[in-house]
Amino acid sequence: MKNLMQHITLAYARWVIRWRWPVLIVCLLIAFTAGWGIRFFEMTADYRVYFSAENPQLKAFDAFEDTYTNTDNILFVLQPKNKNVFTRDTLKIVKKLTREAWQLPYAIRVDSITNFQHTEARGDDLTVADLVKSPEDLTDAQLAKIKKVALNEPALVNRLIAADAGTTGVFVTFQFPGNDHTEHLPISVTRAEEIVAKLRAAHPDLTVALTGMAALSNALTVASDRDLQTLVPVMYLFITIFMLLLLRSVTGTVATLLVVSLSVVTAMGLSFWMGMKMTTASAVAPIVILTLAIADCVHILLHTFGEMRDGRSRHEALIESLRVNTEPVFLTSLTTTIGFLSLNFSDSPPFNDLGNIAAIGVVAAWFFSMTFLPALMSMLPFRVKHRVEGKSLFMERFGDFVVKRRKPLLWGITAVTLLLIAFIPRIELNELFVEYFDYSIPFRSETEFAANNLVGPYLIEFSIDSGEAGGISDPAYLERLEAFSVWLRAQPEVTHVNSFTDVMKRVNKSMHGDNPEWYRLPDKRNLAAQYLLLYEMSLPYGLDLNSQVSIDKSATRLTVTAKNLTTMQIRDLKTRAESWLAKNALPSMKAEGTGTSVMFALLLDRNVRSMLKGTVIAFLLIAVTLIIALRSVRLGLVSLVSNFFPVALTFGLWAIFVGEMGIIASVITATSLGLIVDDTVHILSKYNRAKREHCLNTHNAIRYTFTHVGMALWVTTLILVVGFTVLSFSSFKVNADMGVLTAITLIFALMVDFLLLPPLLMRIDKEGKCNCATCKCDIDRVVTERQIIQGGFKP
């Protein structure tokens, strides 16, 4: 069977070189056809894409929005230089901004201190009107009164006006058509940014910031565009430089760049043919493919150059390189594909897309490396220097070092790994979703400004049900709802609670001549229902209670605003609030917290659990693949060690120097696994070939492995590390962390495969015999690459 496969591989290699022109044409036609799908390119601008349709938090959030209004919003934050909002000039600006905000596309509600519906008693009548009508005509007494009302109104303070009266906000709620807001949301955000630019130009002494969930979605698109426009060109530049330095061949570099480009075009085109949309997470797929596609080319080219140095012609060297590398390149591509496809276990669709696009790219890179690359190289002119007789190669000396120091290396690397593994439990799965962006994205700095001066983006929403239509007027319900609000305001993380009970207390006071003693809840259901009806009838269009009360008056909305909280703190606050409701509220009032902050906080846990399963399956599939391909259970099981240790070392090092890890923790093992297994496959494949084809003993097989594949692994690892280091400059933290963690993992992978895997193989095959029954090999004999190729070594 082995001989048959070798004959097939050899025949295939000769066929590619002989029919190089047709091969090139077919490859270009395939890439062009697949790449035609790029015309369907679409970038989504909806943060909801990070949640699968089956995600229970997304379902709960959708149900919440169906009951009340959408939560897509923008918050304009204004801070005058004198930090006093209650001046005629500043209130005039706020009033004008409020009017302009109503003109934003798809705006359905605008809230500010100027249009806050203030209730007052005038005789027996209840009047409801804007708190600020004509700012320029206000007297000092009126300004003082407005300030007093605003700073004593729970619905405003720490939401639309800072407690120190130095900062205010204008809150805009949007209703976008359809489920995907990619087309409409950027229009509204762009218009809002134009308003901000005009404000800054017209009022230099006014600090203006723009934040909100619509701004978050738009920031995701901005980050994706920036990565595609900056990182991809930088990656191409680095690839070109490093390929020229390491391959020392202009022809090889040009051929590699063409293979890389064809792979990217094919993968991206096919993904868009399949209906995938580009997101911030999947936008790095081209960079990942760029990096991965190089590895196959490097192995084929370096082996070709090595054959030519030993006297073979160009065509003979290419044929031999294909014969030797067909199996390991196929195995590395297969195992890398398995690793990336395991991302389909992720509960976040963008990571599914990233895995699928990268997997398509890996397959495309394998196809073009095995067809287009050798066909092109057989036509292009290139030369290499012949090897100088008697000159010792660096990898030969390195192989000798590993063989001689096998015991210290085996136990030393194992001890270091176990030591770092001991730190892994210190890692906390935690993150701030606002910190997904670096400061080059305005959303990050402007959101932090808003959080530090007015209100943060971290909201937990509750829909508190009364159990019956009209039940929100029940004094028992209102009393428990008020108790819940008081409890929430007492929590150290909470900065604001927007509760329906504040409305009822304010109306009750106004209905009793604005007597402060009546600032309490009505004690009769009929009376509360009448007050509510009267208040609703007095509200203008667009400022009704639909955003706070369900249509049938059976439930009310309670919004909790918190400080800058990590995902762990959000989960903790949510759990405590739900526990309070379960213990102290009416049975019907039990509710679960929802909202964007909650969704992102719980996504981390869900993704870790789902990807744990996917990673285990990927590990097992890769091990089984290697067992079958290498026809050795022992080598397949050994591969598990060399594939697990680099990830463990990376997590241990991260635990020591960082200590926290976000959503990337759930996918980094899967993405890294497909990469680190490449080195293992090439080493085990060459080791197996040395023992089976060249009849070498264990120690000489290790030396053979280093001389034949060692330099290629150095080169591919260096290029991969550089590629993922470029990714670390992404403005999107998830992608940047993936770049850093993957680069560290690749470094550890090379260390383990060079310093631990060979000693482990020598430990397992410590008898030192080759696989040939008639062989009488000397265990201490050094076999050089030159002797084996030229037949100088006779076992």
User: Does the predicted model carry a pTM greater than 0.85?
Assistant: no
| Whether the predicted pLDDT of 242 surpasses 70 | yes
Q: Which of 172, 196, 12 is nearest to 104 (CA)?
A: 172
Q: Report phi then psi at 79, rounded to 5.
A: -135, 110
Instruction: Tell me: pLDDT of 794 over 70.
Output: no
Q: Is the pLDDT of residue 624 over 80?
A: yes
Q: Using only C-alpha atoms, what is the Rg of the chain?
A: 33
So what's the pLDDT on residue 783? 46
> Is it the case that residue 145 has pLDDT exceeding 90?
yes
pLDDT, position 209: 96
Range scoring the smallest mean pLDDT among 22-36, 93-107, 277-291, 731-745:
277-291
Instruction: Give CA torsion, residues 701, 702, 703, 708, to 10 deg.
Output: 80
Q: What is the pLDDT of residue 391?
A: 44
Nearest to 360 by CA among 416, 243, 282: 282
Of 187-201, 317-331, 518-532, give the lowest mean pLDDT range: 317-331
pLDDT value of position 686: 84
pLDDT at 779: 41
The predicted pLDDT at position 594 comes to 93
Q: Quote the CA–CA distance of 675 and 558 in Å, as a whole number.
A: 48
Report the distance separating Cα 413 and Cα 394, nearest Å: 22
Which of these, 696, 694, 742, 692, lies nearest to 717 by C-alpha position?
742
Higher pLDDT, 8 or 274: 274
Q: Say if residues 561 and 459 touch (Cβ distance below 8 Å).
A: yes
- Asked if residue 167 lies in contact with residue 78, where contact means CB atoms within 8 angstroms, the answer is yes
Confidence label for 47 from pLDDT (cuts 50, 70 and 90)? confident
Report percent pLDDT > 70 for the chain: 94
Between 86 and 230, the more confident residue is 86
Of the listed ranges 41-50, 291-300, 581-590, the one predicted with least confidence: 41-50
Residue 388 CB burial class (10 angstroms; 0-12, 13-18, ≥19): exposed
Could you tell me if 758 and 705 are in contact, meaning their C-beta atoms sit under 8 angstroms apart?
yes
pLDDT band of residue 386 (cuts 50, 70, 90) is: low
- CB count in 10 Å sphere of residue 537: 10
Q: What is the pLDDT of residue 684?
A: 87
**How far apart (Å, rounded) are the C-alpha atoms in residues 494 and 439?**
26
The mean pLDDT of 488-495, rounded to a whole number, is 93
- Other beta carbons within 10 Å of 608: 17
* 720 membership: H or E segment, kind and range: helix 711-727
pLDDT for the residue 774 = 43
> Where does the pLDDT of residue 123 fall: very low under 50, low under 70, confident under 90, or very high at 90 and above?
low
- Pick from 273-282, 381-390, 481-490, 772-781 the range whose average pLDDT is largest: 481-490
Mean pLDDT value across residues 773-779: 44
Confidence (pLDDT) at 356: 93
Question: Could you tell me if 522 and 475 are in contact, meaning their C-beta atoms sit under 8 angstroms apart?
Answer: yes
Mean model confidence pLDDT for the chain: 86
Residue 632's pLDDT is what?
A: 81
CB contact at 8 A, 372 and 262: yes
Question: Please, which pLDDT band fits residue 141 given cuts at 50, 70 and 90?
Answer: very high
Name beta bridge partners: 560.
460, 497
Convert the pLDDT of each residue in 435-449 to its tens digit: 888 888 999 999 999
Asked whether residue 582 carries a pLDDT value surpassing 50, the answer given is yes
Residue 167 confidence (pLDDT): 96
- 10 Å CB burial of residue 242 (0-12, 13-18, 19+) is middle
pLDDT over 90 (residue 114): yes
**pLDDT higher at 744 or 121:** 744
Continuous H helices in 588-632: 596-630
* Residue 781 pLDDT: 46
Beta carbons of 355 and 253 less than 8 angstroms apart: no
User: Quick one: pLDDT at residue 688?
Assistant: 83
What CA–CA distance (Å, rounded) separates 328 from 680?
10
Task: Give the separation between CA 689 and CA 9, rounded to whole angstroms.
Answer: 15
Q: Find out whether 132 and 95 touch, Cβ atoms under 8 Å.
A: yes
* Phi, psi at 468, each rounded to 5°: -160, 155
Q: How confident is the model at residue 480 (pLDDT cuts 50, 70, 90)?
A: very high
Percent of the chain having pLDDT more than 90? 38
Distance CA(447)–CA(437), nearest Å, equals 11
State whether the Cα torsion 440-442-443-445 is positive or negative.
Answer: positive
pLDDT at 291: 79
Flag whether pLDDT at 9 surpasses 80.
no
Most confident of 44-53, 193-202, 604-613, 641-650: 193-202
